[in-house]
Amino acid sequence: MDSSLLVVIFLVLHVLGAIAGFGPVFAFGILGPMAGRAGPNGGAALLEATIAIEKRAVIPAAIAQPITGLILIFITSYNVNFFSHYWLWISILLYAIAFYLAIFVQAPTVERMCTSRSRDRRRPRWRPSRSGPRPWVRSRPPCSS
């Protein structure tokens, strides 16, 4: 296979991975505040959706991104005199920092937010009605994805 074809294939995969991995993250900034204002059911649903998007799209794309990037580095021979390409090793360093923060800081924080909201929802909430008080009922476990 021609190396220029490999460059095109892996470049397309690299760009698609960036779009799939980082595109939804911009929506999280909108979904987060909406979850706080949406009430008990809506807020938990938005947090569950955020976790599902993160697990099914963002994390797999974020894992594939450095793999396709490394393949591109070797196919295009940027590995020769690697440290003379400042933009390359600085971008790898910044990506490693962002990946660490996303996996080990942001993901556990959203999980804790979801479980704390679900803990609040599991407490019985009594509402006055004609037939008497009714407990708040949930048909499936909260924050399960």
Task: Show me where the domains of the chain are located.
Answer: 3-122
Q: What is the pLDDT of residue 115?
A: 80
Neighbours of 35 (CB within 10 A): 23
Per-residue pLDDT tens for 55-99? 898 899 999 999 999 999 999 988 888 888 899 989 999 999 999
Q: What is the pLDDT of residue 72?
A: 94
117 — pLDDT class (breaks 50, 70, 90): low
Per-residue pLDDT tens for 48-60? 888 889 889 889 9
Apex 23 CA angle, 64 and 6, nearest 5: 40
Q: What is the pLDDT of residue 137?
A: 47
* End-to-end Cα, the chain, rounded Å: 41
Quick one: which H or E segment has residue 26? Answer: helix 3-37
Whether the predicted pLDDT of 122 surpasses 70:
no
Distance CA 44, CA 50 (A): 10
139 — pLDDT class (breaks 50, 70, 90): very low
Q: What is the pLDDT of residue 91?
A: 92
Residue 78 vs residue 138, higher pLDDT: 78
Place of tokens 């942001």: 106
Residue 118 vs residue 61, higher pLDDT: 61
26 — pLDDT class (breaks 50, 70, 90): confident
Residues 46, 35 contacting (CB under 8 angstroms): yes
Q: What is the pLDDT of residue 138?
A: 47
